[in-house]
Amino acid sequence: MKEWVAFLRTKGLTLGLVPTMGALHQGHVSLIRRAREENDKVILGIFVNPTQFDKKEDLLSYPRDIEKDREIASREGVDIIFAPSVEEIYPKGFSTFVEEEDLTERLCGEHRSGHFRGVTTVVMKLLNIISPDRAYFGQKDLQQSQVIKKMVMDLNMNVEVVVLPTVRDKDGLALSSRNQHLSMAERQTALSIYKALIRARELFASRETDSRKILEEMHDILLGAGILQIDYISIVDPETLEELEEARPDAVVVLACWVGNTRLIDNMSLSEATSSKEPAPALSSNVGVYCDTPLQGAKLSK
């Protein structure tokens, strides 16, 4: 991968990286498309990163479908898939980790021990291997994208972090690889997450600024739908992720909850327009795949 990057650099080409854990959906596609628009070459990272999972069952059951991912990547004009093995990213004796110590204290950090340490470490490694001009992340994982922006700033890294809006299904459910785990009935239940977020927005639009009141109504919607385990639900500053007692137009409602055995997260700004839902038109192109094989085995399409 590093040799490819060096080769592309000698040609003066710009690189965009889209790091994912695979099981691609339209949310990932929106990142790939933006990366295509803004860079000469697009590298798609696919790596189910074990160090960011706090539960072994979750890691083992995480959806994987490299063939389908390849098809989507090819259709979307991805130039290289970087899909290293776990041993390659974390060889025997690996002992250096990256930790952000402020933003990660809150929200998901309180509920998923070690999660962000795993995220920052793997993203740092990917950025060091690929040294892209830009890296693309989704607003869906708001805390993750803020933590990465902070890491990039604190550690003087030379990459532009681009954060794009959450892509939702027609009915409002935020797309997530984990949605594959939901039964039909659970998917219905999960819709209450979107309903609760929209309700928060409505309340704010009707001049309710007391966060406690907004959150109470959201709780009721979730509980009413049968969501009994809520890890957190909060109105926060979009940059610092600090809780706000008084809601503001730029504030974001963030939540994490369990639908059956599936943990879902979502968030929505109290005043912005919601994100795009358009289906992906097909584009044809080949794709170079780097999949834990020697460099000679990788193919670069363009």
Footprint on this chain of ligand AMP (rule: CB under 6 A): 20-21, 27-28, 30-31, 137-138, 140-141, 164, 166-167, 174-177
Decide if 269 contacts 197 (C-beta within 8 A): no
For 208, the token pair is: 């309710």
Query: Cβ 207 to ligand AMP, closest distance in Å?
Result: 30
Would you say 118 or 288 has its CB closer to ligand AMP? Answer: 118
DSSP one-letter string for 60-123: HHS---HHHHHHHHHHTT-SEEE---HHHHS-TT--------SGGGSTHHHHSTTHHHHHHHHH
Decide if 172 contacts 194 (C-beta within 8 A): yes
Would you say 45 or 288 has its CB closer to ligand AMP? Answer: 45
| CA-based radius of gyration for the chain | 19
Query: Cβ 142 to ligand AMP, closest distance in Å?
Result: 8
Would you say 41 or 140 has its CB closer to ligand AMP? Answer: 140
Would you say 5 or 173 has its CB closer to ligand AMP? Answer: 173
Query: Cβ 30 to ligand AMP, closest distance in Å?
Result: 6
State the Cα–Cα distance between residues 120 and 150, nearest whole angstrom.
10
Query: Cβ 14 to ligand AMP, closest distance in Å?
Result: 20
For 230, the token pair is: 């809520």
Query: Cβ 92 to ligand AMP, closest distance in Å?
Result: 25
Q: Is 111 a catalytic residue?
A: no
Task: Look at residues 39, 15, 47, 42 and name the one whose alpha carbon lies nearest to residue 29.
Answer: 42
C-alpha to C-alpha distances, 194 to 26, 107, 249, nearest whole angstrom: 18, 18, 18
Would you say 164 or 214 has its CB closer to ligand AMP? Answer: 164
Active site residues: 28
